[in-house]
Amino acid sequence: MLKRYEGLFLFDSAQMRDWASVDKEVRRLCERIGATLLVCVKFDERKLAYEIRRRKRGLYVLTYFDAPTDRIVDLERDAQLSDVILRLLVLRSDISAEKLAALQAHNAETPLVPAGEGRRHDDDRDHRDHRDRGDRGGRDHHRRREFEPEAGPSAGDMEVGIGVGDEPGSQDRE
């Protein structure tokens, strides 16, 4: 039974310089498992958060395809054995027909997302002062803060009790 899947391929951008070779590789993998490729578009090319196989940059390719459920494992295995594919993520998809048509109309070589090198626009660290250290405290840890001494209990707050030599009836003996 064929089901619709979304695949996000991460290609080595140094080896896959032209879009034709990327598209050819994705189509080869899909044909190998008996899948029907619906959409194959360039998602983004960016610097990786960490090195993968000594690569610092990668090309993300977004795909939608209909494939037999039992053949997805073969696709993942073929991607792991490939020299040009660094990572692959395959998920079941419930994309609407309108969104699928919009992606098919999109130019495959134009990235869906503009290339990003730095922080994202929704990163909450952008609004902080560069000296702000959050909850770790300031950099002036060597200075001692002056605290007001706590006021001890006053004499009026003390309870009057029986002392060691003050036993009941001891005053009567003297």
Q: How far apart (Å, rounded) are the C-alpha atoms in residues 109 and 57? A: 17
Residue 159, pLDDT above cutoff 80:
no
What's the pLDDT tens digit per position in 110-152? 787 665 544 555 555 555 555 655 666 666 655 655 655 566 6
- Report the CATH fold assignment for 2-105: Alpha-Beta Plaits (3.30.70)
Domain boundaries, the chain: 2-105
What's the pLDDT tens digit per position in 44-87? 888 999 999 999 999 999 999 999 999 999 999 999 999 999 99
Residue 168 has which token pair? Answer: 């009941």
Q: Which of 12, 7, 50, 46 is nearest to 29 (CA)?
A: 7
Q: Report, as an integer, the average pLDDT of 94-110.
A: 85
